[in-house]
Amino acid sequence: MNSGSRRPQIKSPNELAAAGIEVLAPKQQTAPVVFTSPHSGRNYPDSFITNTRLELRTLRRSEDAFVDEAFTSAPEFGAPLLRAHFPRAYVDANRQAWELDAKMFNAPLPDYVTTRSPRISAGLGTIPRIVANGEQIYDKLLNFDEVRERIDMHYQPYHQSLAYLIRKTVDGFGGCLIVDCHSMPSGNGFDGSRKITGPKLADIILGSCHGKSCAPEIVELATSVCRNMGLSVTHNKPYAGGFTTRHYGKPANGVHALQIEINRALYMDEQRIERGPGLAQLVRQFRRLIDALTSIDTALLQSHQLKAAE
């Protein structure tokens, strides 16, 4: 379970493909930025489809569908994009590795498994109990060995790859910015375990764990670029950052993490889960955002490391 002091290594393209992971890498990394998309996967194993009580379209409501396509130009700006092709309803890469609901299993879980957390209570652990509209995924109890295989096969390689990309970036530039890319329901709907009511959400929500995971200058830069493109932007509410942002965003170590949530009404049909006419425009807009983020002065990342260490 524990990799100890071993430095993370990138897997071969064939190994990554077998794990349902892809790294879109530039010929040469010229920017201290790593983009990630853990929830845009849509390759559902036949065995999973057979054992779920839900139809495919219902399962797909948990996806950050097509959000990775808004960031596929990252390599053109000298930064890699790590994206999962396995779906969130099958394994959620934006959780702790062993964040599991004991009530979902047919036998007691090992001691190293985390069985209590707000995400587990909401039904959204590493192996989710529900999809985004609140429906139960399974109608029978799960076998832990099968779940362990899912996590070992998909989750672990994803985070090993991310750890490698971060270390490579820090080694090369003295710091790293992780941009964790997500999408969100447009509002007035059911998201996970909670009802979203009231005004519709902003076009973009930037999450920095309330200032703990990312330098404020980076948040201000992303905010300014988005607003200059006519997009509305808010910060940290209701999405302040998930596991990736919290776990890897350590400005004291020169590693910053910014979560970006994109309102799905901008680019897709939320009911049919299909690309919308706004996707092409979003891709063009986000080229400007990617350009701005990959152009940050590496001293900004390093300076916060020094300030935090004082």
| Residue 192, pLDDT above cutoff 70 | no
| Residue 309, pLDDT above cutoff 90 | no
Strand 21-24 relative to strand 274-275: parallel, antiparallel, unpaired? unpaired
Strand 194-195 relative to strand 268-269: parallel, antiparallel, unpaired? unpaired
How far is the CA of 6 from the CAs of 3, 98, 235, 252, in angstroms? 6, 21, 36, 22
Averaged pLDDT for residues 177-200? 69
**CATH code reported for the domain at 13-309:** 3.40.630.40
Residue 2: band (very low, low, confident or very high) from pLDDT cuts 50, 70, 90: very low
Written as one letter, the residue type at 143 is: N
Average pLDDT over the chain, rounded to an integer: 91
Q: Which helix (H) or strand (E) holds 278?
A: none
Q: Give the pLDDT of residue 198.
A: 52
Largest Cα separation within the chain, whole Å, is 56
Measured distance CA(251)–CA(13) in Å, rounded: 31
Residue ranges per domain, the chain? 13-309
Question: For 16-57, what is each residue's pLDDT tens digit?
Answer: 888 999 999 999 999 999 999 999 999 999 999 998 999 999
In the chain, the percentage of residues whose pLDDT exceeds 90 is: 85
In b/e form, how buried is each residue of 222-242, taking b as 16+ CB within 10 angstroms?
bbebbeebebebebbeebbbb
Question: For 112-163, what is each residue's pLDDT tens digit?
Answer: 999 999 999 999 999 999 998 889 999 999 999 999 999 999 999 999 999 9
Give the bridge partners for 184, in sequence order.
263
Measured distance CA(209)–CA(212) in Å, rounded: 5
| Residue 306, pLDDT above cutoff 80 | no
| Residue 79, pLDDT above cutoff 80 | yes
Measured distance CA(103)–CA(280) in Å, rounded: 43
Least confident range of 46-50, 89-93, 176-180: 46-50
pTM score of the predicted model:
0.92
